Chain A
Amino acid sequence: MSQSIEQLLFGLHPLERTVLAVFRDEPAAWDHQLAQRTGLDESRLSMAFGWLLSKEVLCVEQDRTSKFVSLTELGRRYATELIPEQRIVQALQAGTRLLIPDLRERLGLDQLEVSTAVGNLKQHGVARIGQGGVLELAGVGLPSQVIGEQGMTGLIGLLAASATPVGEETLTENHKTILEDFIEKRWKTRGIIKLHEKVSKRFALTDLGRELVQRLPAESAAGEVSQLTPEMLKDGSWKGKRFRKFHIDLKPPRIGAGRVHPYRQFLGEVQAKLVSMGFQEMRGPLVESEFWNMDALFMPQFHPARDIHDVYFAKGLAPADDIDPALLERVAVTHERGGGGASTGWRYAFDRARARQMILRSQGTAVSARTLAGGPRVPGKYFSITRCFRYDQVDATHAPDFFQIEGIVLDPTITFRTLLGLLKLFAVELARADEIKFLPAYFPFTEPSVELHVRHPKLGWMELGGAGLFRPEVTTPMGVTVPVIAWGLGLDRMAMVAMGLHDIRDLFATDLEFLRTLRPPSVSIETGETGPGA
Chain B
Amino acid sequence: MPTITIRRRELARLAGRAIPIDVLEGLLPLVKGELKEVGADGDELKIELNDSNRPDWWCAEGIARQIRLHDGKPVRGLPGRMGRRVLRQIRVLAPVTPIRPFLGACVARNSNINQSLLDQLIQTQEKLAEIFGQKRRALSIGYYRLDPLTFPLTYTAVEPTAAVFTPLGMDQPLTLEAILDEHPKGREYGHLLRGSSLVPLLTDAKGRPLSLPPIVNSREVGEVRPGDKHVLIEVTGTDLRLVSLLVNLLAQNLADRGATIEPVEIVYPRTTPYGRRVVMPHDISRSMTVRRAEVDAVLGERLADGEIARALRQAGHRVTAASGRWTATPPPYRGDLMHPVDLIEDIAMQRGYDRLTPELPATFTVGGLSPETRLEEQVRRWMIGLGFQEVMTNILSSHSDLAEKMGAEPPMVELENPLSLQYAVLRPWLLPSLLRVEAASGHAFYPHKMFEVGEVATVIEEGGNSRKSRTDLRLAAMLAAPSAAFSELHSSLELLMLEAGAAYRLEPAVHPSFLEGRVGVIRIGEQAAGWIGELHPAVLERWKITMPCVAWELDLNRLRPAARTSRRPAGPSSRG
- Residues of chain A touching chain B, judged by Cβ–Cβ distance below 8 Å, are 43, 73, 76-77, 80-81, 97, 105, 108, 132, 160, 163-164, 254, 256-261, 263-264, 268, 271, 274-288, 302-304, 307-309, 312-318, 320, 322, 338, 341-348, 358, 360, 367, 370-371, 374-377, 379-382, 387, 389, 391-394, 399-401, 409, 411, 413-418, 420-425, 437-442, 444, 447-450, 469, 471-473, 483, 507-508, 510-513, 515-516
B574 and A448 contacting across the interface, CB-CB below 8 Å: no
B384/A275 in contact, CB under 8 A = no
Q: Is B535 an interface residue (CB 8 A)?
A: no
Besides A317-B468, A387-B395, A441-B50, 5 other A-B contacts (C-beta < 8 A)? A261-B390, A263-B392, A284-B576, A420-B356, A473-B339
Are A417 and B301 interface neighbours, CB within 8 A? yes
What residues of chain B lie closer than 8 Å to A417, measured between beta carbons? Answer: 299-301, 356-359
CB distance from B476 to the nearest CB of A (A): 14
Assess the A258–B467 pair: CB atoms within 8 A.
Answer: no
Q: Does B367 lie within 8 Å of A274, measured CB to CB?
A: yes
**Residue pair B389, A256 in contact (C-beta under 8 Å):** yes
**Given known contacts A108-B422, A287-B413, A448 and B389 CB-to-CB distance under 8 angstroms:** no
Q: Could you tell me if B443 and A394 are in contact, using CB atoms closer than 8 angstroms?
A: no
Q: Nearest residue in B to A347 (C-beta to C-beta)?
A: B241
| A449 in contact with B339 (CB, 8 Å) | no
B286 cross-chain contacts in A, Cβ below 8 A: 344
On chain A, the residues within 8 Å of B395 by CB distance are 286, 387, 389, 400-401
21 contacts between A and B (CB under 8 A): A73-B440, A256-B387, A283-B370, A285-B471, A285-B574, A287-B576, A312-B418, A314-B413, A341-B339, A347-B239, A360-B415, A394-B422, A417-B301, A444-B53, A447-B342, A448-B349, A450-B353, A483-B297, A510-B391, A510-B441, A512-B391
Determine the distance from Cα of A77 to Cα of B400 in the docked complex, in whole angstroms: 12
Does B450 lie at the interface of the complex (its beta carbon under 8 Å from any beta carbon of A)? yes
Contacts of B450 in A (CB 8 A): 512
Q: Which of B359, B370, B437, B469 contacts A282 (CB 8 A)?
A: B370
A24 to B114, CA, bound (A): 93
Q: Is the CB of B426 within 8 A of A287?
A: yes
B391 touches A261 (CB 8 A): yes
Chain B residues, Cβ within 8 Å of A513: 441, 443-445
Residues of A within 8 A of B414 (CB): 314-316
CB distance from A303 to the nearest CB of B (A): 7
Query: Which residues on B sit within 8 Å (CB–CB) of A447?
Result: 339, 341-342, 344-345
B320 at the interface (CB under 8 A from A): no
- Return chain B residues, CB-CB under 8 Å to A409: 361
A104 and B32 CA atoms in complex are apart in Å by 30
Complex: how many Å from CA A43 to CA B447?
13
User: Which residues 375-416 in B have Cβ within 8 Å of A in the complex?
Assistant: 377, 380, 383-396, 400, 413-416
Output the least CB separation between B483 and chain A (Å): 13
B interface SS class: loop
Contact B338 A345 (CB under 8 A): yes
B449 partner residues in chain A, CB cutoff 8 A = 256, 258
In the bound complex, do residue B363 and residue A260 qualify as a contact, i.e. CB atoms below 8 Å apart?
Answer: no
Is A304's CB under 8 angstroms from B444's CB? no
* Residue from A276, A316, A320 in contact with B367 in the complex, judged by beta carbons closer than 8 Å: A276
Known: A258-B383, A370-B574, A400-B423. A380 touches B344 (CB 8 A): no
Could you tell me the distance in whole angstroms from the C-beta of B435 to the nearest C-beta in chain A? Answer: 10
Question: Which one of B50, B386, B470 contacts A258 once the chains associate, using CB atoms below 8 Å?
Answer: B386
In the bound complex, what is the Cα–Cα distance between A338 and B286 (angstroms)? 15
Contact B369 A275 (CB under 8 A): yes
B570 at the interface (CB under 8 A from A): yes
User: Is B116 an interface residue, CB under 8 A from the partner?
Assistant: no
Minimum Cβ distance to chain B for residue A477 (Å): 13
Nearest first, the 3 closest Cβ-Cβ pairs linking A and B are A415-B300, A108-B420, A512-B441
B424 CB, min distance to chain A CBs, angstroms? 9
Bound Cα distance A108, B417 (Å): 12
A515 touches B440 (CB 8 A): no
Determine how close the nearest CB of chain A comes to the CB of B413; give it in whole angstroms. Answer: 5
Verify if B51 is at the interface (C-beta below 8 Å from A).
yes
The reply to whether B400 and A322 contact each other, CB–CB distance below 8 Å, is: no
B413: contacting residue among A132, A282, A317, CB under 8 A? A317
Task: Report whether A286 and B571 are in contact in the complex, using a CB–CB cutoff of 8 Å.
Answer: no
Q: Are A379 and B365 in contact (CB under 8 A)?
A: yes
Q: Is A415 in contact with B390, judged by CB distance below 8 angstroms?
A: no
Closest CB-CB distance, A506 to chain B, in whole Å? 11
**B533-576 interface (Cβ within 8 A of A):** 544, 546, 570-576
> CA separation between A422 and B365, bound complex, in Å?
14
Also in contact, A286 and B50, with CB within 8 A (given A277-B367, A315-B414): no
CB-defined contacts of B508 to chain A, threshold 8 Å = none
Please measure, in the bound complex, the distance between the C-alpha atom of A509 and the C-alpha atom of B466, giving whole angstroms. Answer: 36
Q: How far is the CA of A302 from the CA of B239 in the complex (A)?
A: 12
CB < 8 Å: which of A281, A379, A400, A440 contacts B396? Answer: A400
Q: Is the beta-carbon distance between A371 and B416 smaller than 8 angstroms?
A: no
Interface hub of B367, B418, B468, B574 (most chain A Cβ within 10 A):
B367
Nearest B residue to A425, CB-CB: B360
Contacting pair A286 B455 (CB below 8 A) = yes
**B393 and A163 within 8 A (CB):** no
Tell me how far the C-beta of A337 lies from the nearest C-beta in chain B, rounded to whole angstroms.
10
Chain A residue contacts of B338, Cβ below 8 A: 338, 343-346, 473
Of chain A, the residue at the smallest CB distance from B400 is A80
Q: Does B498 contact A (CB under 8 A)?
A: no
Are A304 and B423 also in contact (CB < 8 A) when A312-B418, A360-B415, A420-B358 are?
A: no
The answer, yes or no, to whether B107 is at the interface (CB within 8 Å) is no
**Interfacial chain B residues near A439, Cβ < 8 Å:** 29, 32, 353
Q: A512 touching B448 by the CB < 8 A rule?
A: yes
Q: Determine whether the beta carbon of A163 is less than 8 Å from that of B546.
A: yes
Q: Is B86 an interface residue (CB 8 A)?
A: no
Question: Measured between alpha carbons, how far is A318 from B53 in the docked complex, in Å?
Answer: 33
Give A76 to B422 CA distance when docked, in angstroms. Answer: 13
CB closest chain-B residue, reference A516: B389
List residues of chain A with CB within 8 A of the CB of B131. 304
Query: What's the nearest-Cβ distance from chain A to residue B216, in Å?
Result: 13
Choose from A280, A391, A510 the contact partner of B393 (Cβ within 8 Å).
A510
Q: Is B150 in the interface zone, CB < 8 Å from A?
A: no
CB-based contact A510/B440 at 8 Å: yes
Specify which chain B residues have a CB less than 8 angstroms from the CB of A424 in the assembled complex.
Answer: 358
Chain A residues with CB below 8 A from B21, complex form: none
Q: Write out the residue numbers on chain B whose beta carbons fall within 8 Å of the beta carbon of A346.
A: 338
Question: Smallest distance from the beta carbon of B102 to chain A beta carbons, Å?
Answer: 14
- B393 neighbours in A (Cβ, 8 Å): 508, 510
Task: Give bound CA distance, A203 to B154, whole Å.
Answer: 95
Cβ–Cβ contact A281 & B369, under 8 A: yes
The reply to whether A371 and B574 form a contact with Cβ atoms under 8 Å apart is: yes
How many Å from the CB of B361 to the closest CB on chain A? Answer: 5
Q: Which residues of the partner chain A approach B385 to less than 8 Å between Cβ atoms?
A: 258
A346 to B134: give the CA distance in the assembly, Å: 15
Residue of B nearest to A73 (CB): B440
The distance from the CB of A170 to the nearest CB of chain B, in whole angstroms, is: 19
> What is the distance, in angstroms, from B98's C-beta to the closest C-beta of chain A?
15
From the candidates B360, B468, B546, name the one contacting A418 in the complex (CB within 8 A): B360
**Contact: B419 with A286, CB < 8 Å?**
no
**Min CB distance, B24 to chain A, in Å?**
14
A313–B442 alpha-carbon span in the complex (Å): 36
Per the 8 Å Cβ criterion, residues 481-535 of B in contact with A are: none
Structural contact, B52 and A304, CB atoms closer than 8 A: yes
B422's nearest neighbour on chain A, judged by CB, is A108
B residues in contact with A399, CB < 8 Å: 394
Check: B187 CB closer than 8 A to any chain A CB.
yes
Kindly state whether residue B421 has any CB partner on chain A within 8 Å.
yes
Which of A254, A256, A281, A444 interacts with B368 by CB under 8 Å? A281
Contacts of A282 in B (CB 8 A): 370, 571-574
CB within 8 A of B345: which of A302, A371, A380, A449? Answer: A449
Q: Which of B339, B348, B372 contacts A344 (CB 8 A)?
A: B339
Q: Are A360 and B426 neighbours in the complex by a CB distance under 8 Å?
A: yes
Question: Quick check: B50 and A315 within 8 Å, CB to CB?
Answer: no
Beta-carbon contacts of B448-475 to A below 8 Å, as 1s and 0s? 1110000101000010001111110000
Closest to B401 in A: A80
